[in-house]
Amino acid sequence: MSTAFAIIAGVGPGTGASLARKFALSYPVALLARNPDNYTSLVDEINKSGGKAIGISTDVSSSSSITSAISEIKEKYGDKCAAAVFNASGPFARKSILELTEKEFTGGYEVSCKGAFLFSQQTLPLLVEHTNDAGAKYPGTLIFTGATASVKSNALMSAFSTGKYAMRALSQSIAREFAPKGVHVAHAIIDGVIDIPRTKEWLKDMPPEAKIEADAIAEAYWNLHTQSKRAFTNEIDIRPMLEKW
Amino acid sequence: MSTAFAIIAGVGPGTGASLARKFALSYPVALLARNPDNYTSLVDEINKSGGKAIGISTDVSSSSSITSAISEIKEKYGDKCAAAVFNASGPFARKSILELTEKEFTGGYEVSCKGAFLFSQQTLPLLVEHTNDAGAKYPGTLIFTGATASVKSNALMSAFSTGKYAMRALSQSIAREFAPKGVHVAHAIIDGVIDIPRTKEWLKDMPPEAKIEADAIAEAYWNLHTQSKRAFTNEIDIRPMLEKW
Amino acid sequence: MSTAFAIIAGVGPGTGASLARKFALSYPVALLARNPDNYTSLVDEINKSGGKAIGISTDVSSSSSITSAISEIKEKYGDKCAAAVFNASGPFARKSILELTEKEFTGGYEVSCKGAFLFSQQTLPLLVEHTNDAGAKYPGTLIFTGATASVKSNALMSAFSTGKYAMRALSQSIAREFAPKGVHVAHAIIDGVIDIPRTKEWLKDMPPEAKIEADAIAEAYWNLHTQSKRAFTNEIDIRPMLEKW
Amino acid sequence: MSTAFAIIAGVGPGTGASLARKFALSYPVALLARNPDNYTSLVDEINKSGGKAIGISTDVSSSSSITSAISEIKEKYGDKCAAAVFNASGPFARKSILELTEKEFTGGYEVSCKGAFLFSQQTLPLLVEHTNDAGAKYPGTLIFTGATASVKSNALMSAFSTGKYAMRALSQSIAREFAPKGVHVAHAIIDGVIDIPRTKEWLKDMPPEAKIEADAIAEAYWNLHTQSKRAFTNEIDIRPMLEKW
């Protein structure tokens, strides 16, 4: 019951699945997604291949849903979280300021920032617990998946970018509060199209190097997790070689 | 009925009052604040000294409250807004991530970003109307009051900084969408303590140059408003000479 | 002999001339340019229209040339400088890293940064002198003209951007050192094509609002100069309404 | 003779030595330092422990010195460079703008930026050669060591920060030019005191987590090197958990 585990919030067929597979090589993993279709077969795959995984249907923007998910995880895996990744991102309306409904506008924030806050609040005590464990191999690590819109806010993108800028602020504030406790907090600016089933038709006349490989993002996050307390990276950017930036 | 007017949202005894007095030298002004105590005597003062002012009790984080305020303004002043300043900022909880309630955490966003969105949505059509008016002296101008926390997110400051980062994202997105229509959107990073009644006891062993003078902020905003379409400034910082940064 | 004066380094037919005319409305001005053709008629124009101007042929990247120019100015105008603007910018090679000669690469730095340093070193004591003068209307002000390349470094632009990034670093360091002495240091990011004779053919199918008007830059710099010690702006951006950013 | 190799410029008892040891586990390494004392025993150590190393006395700010070093490396190791790290940094004068000599001021730029340019110009063709080699395991990688002063320019720090800002501009320009050719360019912001013999007395009342471990920097650079073309990180920050930022 006292093994450290990892939590991935926002599991889908892209980055989330790659993160799950990567972290499952070293830890039991708990996979959160609103829709069980997003994790069911993945949980099976990991369990069959010698890893350990559970999936929990969770709405990260709901306090009670997150709280209940974390309770279930603690029951199953204990109270030492080695790594928690917030990878959730809702759909968003790409519209003029004049055409956005209030609900559409706040939708980005609800998931990207309020959800990230609720997730952090529940996981930070478990990350501290792990960090303080003498047997911990790597410091407890909290990683947030950001986007180009975390640092550049284009026309028609306000519903998305306001949530992403706010999430970056959250990440920096938590990083500064929890670094002295040995918890490693990092924010990743994913700048480019990720190569997932949903983006199959995008950039299809370009070579593969025009899109980001989800497994490579998972590799980068793992490398963040294994950093020592004497060399924390708090922000990285990730883009494919053919991205204009 | 067709004179252009200015709207100041977030009027209190500091920057808001200075902005009201400054813009009232050139335009009829509409002053919005939740509490009428914040504008009543100021409205009188402006009306008695030859200007024209109205005050409207408004909760900027409420769509219906903002909509009703703008309706009232349009009835009184017409549909050409020369300048709209979003200067509102709620109180916020300076607390650990672990101690913030959900309501406390989202409170910063509610005012600083959702409020700024609702205000922008209602005022942008009036700003465009003014810009398109052949008689307009200066392009319609929308200004947001940011803070140090708009670009740096310290420990314990997440409730405030997430709202302020998000507001900056909003400002940049609107600036990019509306510049081609001739509307000037600017964001001001107020980096330092403003010298207002509430901060009287702060930094009191320091010379006056340790605090920002509210009238000087109003001056800077006015200078933004008078810029031509061929030289828009989209972001300024403002700090007193003795500020460390 | 004790009147405060202004110095504009980097006078040509664009921004420099506009700055000269604007500041000459309030101060005797000293205009520096490598080539006298760039200031001769302007000096005449200002002197004939009631202002006071001198021009000095100066290579801002040469310590002895700058020193001698400042000596001449002090003899003519005294030792109180109200405003010093560093607007110089050399030609630069837009080339691959692999094709740049060492001289081409360092050329951007020589003018934009080393020149800015030499100019600052000579003018700062005169700016302090002015600031300390009881009769000074506005604090001594040192302004640097930056560019898009001060904050974004594109392919083939390294010779230019390395100099401009370095100049921005210089500006921030001086701002922090001299603000406590009451000197106002500001950096302007000019983001767009300035409408000058040399750029006449650029963007010619676009409306005038696609280019920056030089007079509008001068207006913005003047507004920086007139800020009080209780509200210094250290950085502004300036772009025309039709600029993509 | 066609094995890929790595070059580390700026080898001393700290980061440079850690980088040399780390990259020597996978590649023959060429170590550059002005003073042979900085690499002699390290070269021995690597050669004795089964690796392969050469040291070359080089002044990175001198074109002829860099060119001659690269010629020697090509003769010994061939023309395929897997990784080139620019880790050089000269001593610098921490002084008021008014007290810096021209030579002191430009000293930071000479090493940090001009040196980085000369090094890049010589190594980029070898990095491209490696990237195009069908047998290359990882894309050719060029990494620059930056500092806090690469993004913040404090009072008295101009000689250092102007060079570091300029180096960051160089890194971004090269990254954008060479990413389409498959070369990975990254910039590391080292934000904190590195734990090396020279800093032994610094922060000595603090726990080890107040300083950065040089080996951990080497680990982070290696992780950058092993990234795929579909997930390049162009900038990371590195700080110890007890750093204030």
Per-residue model confidence as pLDDT tens digits over C180-192: 999 999 999 999 9
CB contact under 8 A, A229 and D241: yes
| B159 lies within 8 A of chain A by CB | no
Q: Which of B168, B174, B177 sits opposite A165 (nearest CB)?
A: B168
Average pLDDT, chain D: 97
CB contact under 8 A, D154 and C162: no
pLDDT at B2 over 80: no
| C67 lies within 8 A of chain D by CB | no
CB contact under 8 A, D217 and A227: no
Query: Is the alpha carbon torsion for A163, A169, A175, A178 positive or negative?
Result: negative
CB contact under 8 A, B97 and A117: yes
Q: Measured between alpha carbons, how far is A229 from A232 in angstroms, rounded to an integer?
A: 6
Encoded tokens for C198: 């040399």
What distance in Å separates residue C122's CA from the closest CA in chain D?
Answer: 8
Closest to B24 in 3D by CA, of B79, B73, B82: B82
| D216 lies within 8 A of chain A by CB | yes
Q: Is D183 left (phi over 0), alpha (psi -120 to 50) or beta?
A: beta
Encoded tokens for A215: 């497994």
How are beta strands D53-57 and D81-86 bridged, if at all? unpaired
Percent of chain C past pLDDT 70, that is, above it, reads 99
pLDDT in tens, D53-67: 999 999 999 999 999
Distances (CA, A) of B187 to B67, C225, D131: 23, 20, 44
Q: Measured between alpha carbons, how far is D117 from D95 in angstroms, rounded to an integer?
A: 26
Residue A158 near residue B170 (C-beta atoms within 8 A): yes
| C177 lies within 8 A of chain D by CB | yes
| A34 lies within 8 A of chain D by CB | no
Between B and C, how many CB-CB pairs are < 8 A?
105
Q: Measured between alpha carbons, how far is C81 from C95 in angstroms, rounded to an integer?
A: 39
Average pLDDT, chain A: 97
Q: Measured between alpha carbons, how far is D168 from D185 in angstroms, rounded to an integer?
A: 11
What distance in Å separates residue D172's CA from the closest CA in chain A?
Answer: 10
What distance in Å separates residue A100's CA from the closest CA in chain D?
Answer: 33
| B242 lies within 8 A of chain C by CB | yes
pLDDT at A192 (0 to 100): 96
Distances (CA, A) of A66 to A92, A123, B149: 21, 10, 28
| A239 lies within 8 A of chain D by CB | yes
Residue A125, class by beta-carbon neighbours within 10 Å (0-12 exposed, 13-18 middle, 19+ buried)?
A: middle
Provide the CA A45 distance to its chain's centre, in angstroms.
20
Encoded tokens for B224: 């933004």
| A217 lies within 8 A of chain D by CB | yes
Residue A92 near residue A108 (C-beta atoms within 8 A): yes
Residue of C nearest to B244 (CA): C176
Helices (H), chain B: 15-24, 40-48, 63-77, 102-109, 116-132, 158-178, 214-225
Greatest extent of chain A over all pairs of C-alpha atoms, in Å = 55
- The arithmetic mean of pLDDT across residues C138-142, rounded, is 98
pLDDT at D122 over 50: yes
Residue of B nearest to A161 (CA): B169
pLDDT at D173 over 50: yes
| D227 lies within 8 A of chain A by CB | yes
pLDDT in tens, B145-170: 999 999 999 999 999 999 999 999 99
- The arithmetic mean of pLDDT across residues C235-239, rounded, is 98
Which residues from A are below 8 Å from D139, CB to CB? 241
Lowest mean pLDDT among A63-67, B83-87, C41-45, C198-202: C198-202
What distance in Å separates residue A200's CA from the closest CA in chain D?
Answer: 15
pLDDT at D1 (0 to 100): 42
Domain range annotation of chain C: 5-238
Which residues from C are below 8 Å from B176, CB to CB? 245
Q: Which of A117, A152, A162 sits opposite B113 (nearest CB)?
A: A162
pLDDT in tens, B3-49: 899 999 999 989 999 999 999 999 999 999 999 999 999 999 999 99
Which residues from B are below 8 Å from A183, CB to CB? none
CB contact under 8 A, C213 and B233: no
Q: Measured between alpha carbons, how far is C243 from D67 in angstroms, rounded to an integer?
A: 42
pLDDT at C220 over 90: yes
pLDDT at C231 over 80: yes
Helices (H), chain C: 15-24, 40-48, 63-77, 102-109, 116-132, 158-178, 214-225
Distances (CA, A) of B60 to A19, B93, B157, B175: 41, 19, 22, 20
CB contact under 8 A, D234 and A234: no
Closest to B15 in 3D by CA, of B223, B218, B221: B218
| D125 lies within 8 A of chain A by CB | no
Architecture of domain D5-238 in this structure? 3-Layer(aba) Sandwich (3.40)
**Per-residue pLDDT band at D2 (split at 50, 70, 90):** low
| A242 lies within 8 A of chain D by CB | yes
Encoded tokens for C181: 């002495």
- The arithmetic mean of pLDDT across residues B100-124, rounded, is 97
pLDDT in tens, A150-192: 999 999 999 999 999 999 999 999 999 999 999 999 999 999 9
Q: Which of D97, D168, D173 sits opposite C174 (nearest CB)?
A: D97
- Interface partners of chain D (CB pairs < 8 Å, 3 or more) are A, C
**Per-residue pLDDT band at C1 (split at 50, 70, 90):** very low
The ipTM assigned to this model is 0.97
pLDDT at A2 (0 to 100): 54
Provide the CA D133 distance to its chain's centre, in angstroms.
24
Q: How many residues does chain C have?
A: 245
Q: Measured between alpha carbons, how far is A4 from D140 in angstroms, rounded to an integer?
A: 36
What distance in Å separates residue C222's CA from the closest CA in chain B?
Answer: 10
pLDDT at B218 over 50: yes
Q: Is A10 left (phi over 0), alpha (psi -120 to 50) or beta?
A: left
SS3 D48: helix
pLDDT at D199 (0 to 100): 94
pLDDT at C90 (0 to 100): 79
Nearest-10 crossing angle of helices C40-48, C15-24: 20
Q: Measured between alpha carbons, how far is C170 from C167 in angstroms, rounded to an integer?
A: 5
pLDDT at D141 over 70: yes
pLDDT at A90 (0 to 100): 79
Closest to B207 in 3D by CA, of A76, A8, C8, C179: C179
| A211 lies within 8 A of chain B by CB | no
pLDDT at A91 (0 to 100): 82
Q: Measured between alpha carbons, how far is C92 from C105 in angstroms, rounded to an integer?
A: 8
CB contact under 8 A, B213 and C220: no
Q: Which of A180, A228, A234 sits opposite D242 (nearest CB)?
A: A180
Which of D153, D156, D168 to probe by mutation at the C interface, max C CB count within 10 Å?
D153
Percent of chain D past pLDDT 70, that is, above it, reads 99
Q: Which of B212, B217, B237 sits opposite C234 (nearest CB)?
A: B237
What is the full DSSP assignment across C212-232?
B-HHHHHHHHHHHHT--TTSB
According to DSSP, residue B115 is labeled I
CB contact under 8 A, B158 and A168: no
pLDDT at D168 over 50: yes
Q: Measured between alpha carbons, how far is B244 from B143 in angstroms, rounded to an integer?
A: 25
CB atoms inside a 10 Å sphere around CB B87: 25
Which residues from D are below 8 Å from C62, CB to CB? none
Closest to B68 in 3D by CA, of B143, B15, B119: B119
Closest to A66 in 3D by CA, of A130, A3, A114: A114
Helices (H), C83-145: 102-109, 116-132
Which residues from C are below 8 Å from D167, CB to CB? 162
Distances (CA, A) of A220 to A143, B103, B119: 11, 34, 41
Residue B19 near residue B85 (C-beta atoms within 8 A): yes
Residue A233 near residue A97 (C-beta atoms within 8 A): no
- The arithmetic mean of pLDDT across residues A217-232, rounded, is 98
| B193 lies within 8 A of chain C by CB | no
pLDDT at C133 over 50: yes
| B113 lies within 8 A of chain A by CB | yes
What distance in Å separates residue A25's CA from the closest CA in chain B?
Answer: 30
- The arithmetic mean of pLDDT across residues D101-126, rounded, is 97
CB contact under 8 A, C230 and B223: no
CB contact under 8 A, C216 and B228: yes
What distance in Å separates residue A183's CA from the closest CA in chain D?
Answer: 8
Helices (H), chain A: 15-24, 40-48, 63-77, 102-109, 116-132, 158-178, 214-225
CB contact under 8 A, D155 and C176: yes
Q: Which of C97, C169, C178 sits opposite D162 (nearest CB)?
A: C169
Q: Measured between alpha carbons, how far is A87 from A147 in angstroms, rounded to an integer?
A: 11
Q: Which residues of D189-198 are buried (b: 16+ CB within 10 A; e: fewer)?
A: bbbbbbbbee
Distances (CA, A) of A115 to A56, A89, A236: 16, 9, 21
- The arithmetic mean of pLDDT across residues A22-39, rounded, is 97
Residue of D nearest to A207 (CA): D230
